[in-house]
Structure formats: C-alpha cells, structure tokens
Amino acid sequence: MACMSTNPTMPLLETADVETSSDGYAKRFEGPVGQWFLQIQERIALSMLRDVPPGATILDVGGGHGQLAVPLCREGFKVTVLGSDESCGRRIAPLAKEGKCRFKTGDVIDLPFPDKSFDVAISFRLLPHCEQWPKLVAELCRVAARAVIVDYPAIRGLNAMAPALFSAKKKIEGNTRQWRQFTDREVQTEFQKNGFEVGRREGQFFLPMAMHRAMKLKPVSAGLEACFRVIGLTHCFGSPVIACMKPRNG
C-alpha cells in the first residue's frame, strides 16, 4: 500500500515490502503446505535463470522476505536486495553479515541505481500491492540488462474468484491484505512500453492457494497440482504467474 507523504514537495513512496518482509508475513509460509508453496516458486524462478551464469548480478526489489534471495545466493548469484525501510533487511541479515548478499534501502519505484546496472532484476510479492505498479515495471526494466522476473496474481480460472472470497481467505491466512489482480495482457503491455517482451510465463497453482492452506494436506495438494499441471490446466489457468521478460532487442 502507498505511504502518504506529509510534505507536498516529497514524492510518494511505496512501502508494501515492509509487510512482506515481516515475521508475521513469513508465518504464512510455515508448515508443509507453506514450504511447498515456496519450493514451487523457487523451482520456477530458478529455471528461468538457467541461461544466466553463476556470478551474474541480480537486484531483488522488495525481497526482504528472503524467499528468493536465499536460493539465489546459494546458486552463486551476486544478489542485492532493495527494501523501502531498514526493517526490511532483518530477515536476510545473516546473509548480508556473511557477505553473501547486499541490502540497501531506497524507494522501490525510483530505484537508486544506474541504467542496466544489473544483469537481472526481480520483484516478488510486490506488484499486486504497489499502487504505482507501472512505475515499478519501468524501473525494473531500466536497471536490468538481461531479464526482469516478476510474479502477479492473474485473473484466470478459479483464481478469478479470489476477490469474492477475500473474507474467507482472511480467516484462513489471518493477515491477508487487499491486492490487485492482473490480466496477462496488461502486464505484458506495460513491459512492452519499456522495451521488454515475454520470454516465458508460468502459473504456479491451478487451485487458489487459500484452498490448499485450508486443506492443510500437502501430499494431497501436491498430487492434485501435479495432475493439473500434466493435463495443461495450470498452464492455461494457473496463478500466481511468474513471468520472465526479456529486452526486445536483447
């Protein structure tokens, strides 16, 4: 959500990552089902970086939750995490202390880095909570030389019902916030405005994540989703979507 400035001469800052970097948010991914969610996300994201050599530089915007900073560092990438507040770096502090990644504070929609200063820019858990999301997309494209990878909840399949089920989702997850859903087309169009095209796009789950959380049966959820993926339902209707965007002339 946007943080309103009391000084009219100061730009408005987006600070949704303060919440996603918190211990309370991390609790949503505890337990077998939550860990399975993160494993699926990690597998897809890393597969999209197969053509990026170890040692490449990656900017993780709003990534203080550590969901991808940890595996990216493990794979040998040089990771910089940008957070909108010092508190956003607490969960990845051990990585930073060991010199495995760098944490920097700054405006997540006015990135404090030169053009093309990273090989790859990523942003997970931020786009649906960012009111000025087109600015975020533009900045990710500006600083990335080889690719931009983002995730977003898509208006497709059973997940299109998510807003109507918000009250039930909040009861299950406890600290759920309002969020924005996207069509694939509107995300693609925004990236095209900034010279990037879809390299690859993959849905994570056919069933809403809240449904898996409610069942609390990881083997059942994993089995169902494996079937949906094999028969193509996840490809057509899966959400959240992870999209890898490449420079049009890259």
- Domain borders along the chain are 13-247
Kindly report the pTM of this predicted structure: 0.89
Asked whether the predicted pLDDT for residue 7 surpasses 50, the reply is no
d(CA 224, CA 227): 5
- The answer to whether the peptide bond before residue 114 is cis (omega within 30 degrees of 0) is no
- Predicted pLDDT of residue 2: 35
- The model's pLDDT over 27-57, given as tens digits with 9 standing for 90+, comes to 999 999 999 999 999 999 999 999 999 899 9
Alpha-helical segments (H) within 28-182: 31-47, 69-74, 93-97, 133-143, 166-173
- The model's pLDDT over 183-204, given as tens digits with 9 standing for 90+, comes to 999 999 999 999 999 999 999 9
Phi, psi (rounded to 5 degrees) for 120? -135, 140
Interior/surface letters 57-96, b for 16+ CB within 10 angstroms, e for the rest: bbbbbbbbbbbbbbbbbebebbbbbbbbbeebbbbbeebb
Asked whether the predicted pLDDT for residue 166 surpasses 60, the reply is no
Asked whether the predicted pLDDT for residue 131 surpasses 70, the reply is yes
- Predicted pLDDT of residue 160: 67
Assigned token pair, 114:
């030169």
Residue given tokens 């990026």 in the structure block: 52
Assigned token pair, 67:
């969901």
Asked whether the predicted pLDDT for residue 5 surpasses 80, the reply is no
- Please tell me the CATH code under which domain 13-247 is placed: 3.40.50.150
Q: What percent of the chain has pLDDT over 70?
A: 87
